[in-house]
Amino acid sequence: MTTTTQPTPSILGGDPVVTLDQVEANRWPIITSEDEHAVIDVLRSDNISIHPIVQTLEADFKSLTNRKFALAHNNGTAGILAGLHAVGVRPFDEVIVPSATWWSSVMPVLHCGAVPVFAELEPDCLGLDPEDIERKITDKTKAIVVVHLFGMPSKMDEIMAIADKHSLKVIEDASHAHGAVYKGKPIGSFGDVSIFSLQGNKLCPAGEGGIMLCDDEEVWENAVRLGHYEKLLGLESKNKYFAATGFGFKFRMAPMSAALAHEQFKHMPKRNKKRNENCIYLSKQLQELGIETFMATEDVTRVYFEFLVRYDESKTGLPIGDLAKALQAEGAHVAAPRYPLLHQQPVFTHGVWSKIARLPATEENPILTYDPADLPNTTLGNGSLLKLPSFPSASKELLDQYAHAFRKVLAHANDIPRTS
């Protein structure tokens, strides 16, 4: 038995330590009467399909990122597809992408007829590894999709330098990173295009929605042409001649969603600050226990769309799955990350992707095969992550209870039952 001053873990018969209510502490989104009134105002207008509130929201995000052009979409996935189309991704082009991300960052590549090429993540901020990006570049590479995973800015200096060196386009998926800053520049201001998701659990929730941003008017018009036929007649370029049909998609954002997002945007800095304060407060206690918490460096401001920590089970001998079960018994809401690695999914390993992309196998362009054993660093790293609540409204007392749960379980690591 372990000799320790810590009380017995709940999983071994002790009392749980996380006893405070967590419903309100972790409730998201936070909806107020202001949000309700804003949505009702649109509903009572005569413009519930096309309404100026959408342009107001676009202006919000141009201000956030210092971008010249913004285009609201019905979701972030549509925004990514529009961005890929807008920068000229075409059939048989290769696009370097991460595997540890939500599928929306990758699957739109297929609908451009292009080929996803998965690259490793680096361990510091879980962004694409610049060295592996270099290794994966071929004469067919057209673009890189960068994801600021869970609100941690990727290494944009190095990635942008690689893109410039090889004349590649950068699609910046900022769906987790509203308000994050990298070396003095807002996240969302780096790529040829950038996209923010406004899905219901994001930092600026609209229920559903997305914003695509860029600085190049031609790129913006290309995105308009794909999914916003109603804007084409107002253009001065040849694109206005496509106003009767567009390019076959309808991606405009619902005004009720835009109204909600606009109100949420007003409160986003304050709410981001509260999340940051809470997650940093707990992070400092967890780091004392040897747990990596992805704290931001001095030149980076991260945000906490989700609060992930890295646990090295070799230090304690307690498998991460058993650690999670013991913490859950204490009342802590912890879990493995919710994103399965995409390169290991049947759509890629069984060759379905090429059918979605409508790519025939040719001698010049053989069909790429994906091996689940690829990306060993990403696979190993993903298996060491533990997800905690992001604590949008938590008290210090609740955070201290979480820290106590970790201390208690780790102090009894040798005694915790092994089931993993």
Residue range 353-374, pLDDT digits in tens: 999 999 998 888 888 999 999 9
Strands 193-197 and 169-173: parallel
Query: From the CA atom positions of the chain, what is the Rg in Å?
Result: 23
Q: Are 232 and 240 in contact (CB under 8 A)?
A: yes
Tokens of 407: 């201390």
For the chain, domains (ranges, CATH) are 10-30+264-337+383-411 (3.90.1150.10), 50-253 (3.40.640.10)
Predicted confidence at residue 3, as pLDDT, reads 57
Whole-angstrom Cα distance, residue 369 to residue 351? 7
H or E, element range at 213: strand 210-214
Whole-angstrom Cα distance, residue 420 to residue 230? 55
**Those residues with Cβ within 8 angstroms of residue 392's Cβ, 6 or more apart along the chain or in another chain:** 25, 26, 27, 28, 30, 271, 274, 275, 278
Per residue in 3-57, pLDDT (tens digit) is 578 999 999 999 999 999 999 999 999 999 999 999 999 999 989 999 999 999 9
Q: Are 85 and 228 in contact (CB under 8 A)?
A: no
| Positions of the chain with pLDDT under 70 | 1-3, 338
Predicted confidence at residue 1, as pLDDT, reads 44
Selection from 397, 409, 123, 387 nearest residue 281 by Cα:
397
> 350: burial class by Cβ within 10 Å (0-12, 13-18, 19+)?
exposed
Selection from 244, 193, 251 nearest residue 226 by Cα:
251
Q: Are 247 and 225 in contact (CB under 8 A)?
A: yes
Selection from 272, 278, 308, 301 nearest residue 123 by Cα:
308
